[in-house]
A and B are shown apart, each in its own frame.
Chain A
Amino acid sequence: MRKQRLGAIAAAAAAATLALTSCGSSGGGGGGEGDTVRIGIKYDQPGLGFKEGDSYTGFDVDVAKFVAKELGYDENKIEWVSAPSANRETLLETNQVDMIFATYTINDKRKERVGFAGPYFVAGQDLLVRADDSSITGKDSLDGKKLCSVTGSTSAENVRKDVPGVELVEQSGYAECLGLLEGGNIDAITTDDIILAGLAATDANKGKFKVVGNPFSEEPYGVGLNKESDKCEAINTAIQKMIDDGAWKEALDKNTEGTGYEPNAKLNPPTNFEACS
């Protein structure tokens, strides 16, 4: 008898929890359909798009906020959506997000499925090394070195193709690579310079690593859009405005503080925007 009563209480408690959570999520999503904008960002890329509790930080996030404001959406009208690399095209095609700011390199294959505005930044593949390591100065000094990158990333492919003498560890995220780099098992991490700067700028890593600063590729980060989107022109105007009034530089400096990182000055700030269709 006693056992039964306990079971009933547990069931009631479980039901109550379920009811509460479902209420919470619908309350968050339903607040003002139509006048919010859904923006896809990375949640796990410190310095670019990073989720900490309820707040979102990073350069992608700052540009997204600025652009959204120019389009008439205040910060509290933005719904952030996680946009992992492999899902970005699908999210846009199925209209689950309105725009994507997620280290999204513009290329022709992607243009077959989605539209792009921008670029708002031109990154380049670079190397992150331990702060006391001066043996690696760029792509040409990599022979026989051990590198780490993320499985399936453009950076991993580039290294595999262009630097045959290199030994490459592939991990699921840059955090794992950082652990190996700190322990001395690998010599460098390679991916886009601004991602590396963002990693090096986090509190836990400050002062331990440095970006080599000799980029060997061009990765124009665009704003991903649905092909039917009419926002392209307006976004380009907004990005131009952000660059002109200094907010762009400010955001960049803030998110890479303390790493000595300077973006490739020949390409940044970007000037050749995508032609909107």
Chain B
Amino acid sequence: MEGYLSLWDEYGSRIMESFWANLQLTFWAALASLVLGTILAIMRISPIPSLRAFGAAYVNIIRNTPLTIILTFGVLVLFGVFQLKLTNDFDLNFFQIAIIGLSIYHAAFFCEAIRSGVNTVPLGQAEAARAIGLSFLPAAWLVILPQAFRGAIAPMGNVLIALIKNTTVAIAGSVAEISGLMKTMLEYRADVGVLIFLTVALMFVIVVLPIGALVTWLSKRLAVAR
């Protein structure tokens, strides 16, 4: 126990800093991938075959590429070969590249979650929207998607929870986040090895459980009564 307390003395502030990085990654990546995922979902339900094909190709290719590869690609190719510099701050650059990687990956999952929401909207809604003279985009934006989002809360919550945990993969993109610090602590504090691991696991549980409960509550409350 004493050993464990001294771990917090030694690393406490860095544990919090690193975990904060995970939460920031989650926030920005969730925002960006929700926007990108919505655009992709609109493409996939659009009447234009080339857009549908692009959306399907994007989802199938990205969804089947391991996230580690996408984030390693960010460092070794975007930074390594093309010398991509989003900002002059060296560390922030990797942080932003990691956000892009996470967003590209999770957009595919958000797209599919939203599309599953679209499937809960009865066909009559789309037909009625077209009948009153709305073209595709206004029909999608004003009639279909608002209902689809409400039907897609639960699957989108699942994607968000997966995203939170997937931020630990940003270690492959040279971001100072919690799983990297976990490795450091394991290297220096072999005496409390298992406890380090459990601590990090617990921090994720603390964040993920309330989100899970919130999503369940929201999905019930916002469900479209039909």
Contact = CB atoms under 8 A, between A and B. Distances in A.
A170 interface: yes
B13 interface: no
A261 B12 CA distance: 40
Interface in B171-191: 171-172, 174, 176, 180-184, 186-191
A167 B193 contact: no
A146 interface: yes
Contacts of B174: 151, 169-171
B76 to A, nearest CB: 6
Nearest to B182: A152
B127 interface: no
B190 A109 contact: yes
Contacts of B103: none
B171 A156 contact: no
B96 interface: no
A110 B190 CA distance: 5
B80 interface: yes
Contacts of B171: 151, 170, 172
Interface string B77-113: 0011101000000110010000000000000000000
Interface residues of A, number: 26
Contacts of B183: 86, 151-152
A113 interface: yes
B81 A183 contact: yes
A157 B189 CA distance: 13
Nearest to B172: A172
Contacts of B189: 109
B65 to A, nearest CB: 17
Contacts of A164: none
Contacts of B38: none
Interface in A56-99: 85-86, 89-90
Contacts of A89: 190, 193
Contacts of A110: 190-191
A153 B183 CA distance: 8
A141 B174 CA distance: 23
Nearest to A157: B184
A170 B193 contact: no
Contact of B187 (A113, A154, A171): A154
A171 B184 contact: no
Contact of A153 (B75, B181, B187, B191): B187
Nearest to B89: A167
B180 A151 contact: yes
A36 to B, nearest CB: 27
Contacts of A172: 72, 171-172
Interface in A108-167: 109-110, 112-114, 146, 151-154, 156-157, 167
A247 interface: no
B75 A157 contact: no
A180 B181 CA distance: 22
Contacts of B3: 112
A185 B193 contact: no
Given A167-B91, A172-B171, A154 B188 contact: yes
A163 to B, nearest CB: 14
Nearest to A156: B184
Contacts of B184: 151-153, 156-157
A185 B174 CA distance: 14
A179 interface: yes
A12 B184 CA distance: 48
Contacts of B83: 185
A172 B183 CA distance: 11
Given A113-B190, A151-B180, 12 more contacts: A109-B190, A151-B174, A151-B183, A152-B183, A156-B184, A157-B187, A169-B174, A170-B174, A172-B172, A176-B72, A176-B75, A180-B80
9 contacts: A86-B187, A110-B191, A113-B190, A151-B174, A153-B184, A169-B94, A179-B80, A180-B79, A185-B79
Interface of B: 3, 72, 75-76, 79-81, 83, 90-91, 94, 171-172, 174, 176, 180-184, 186-191, 193
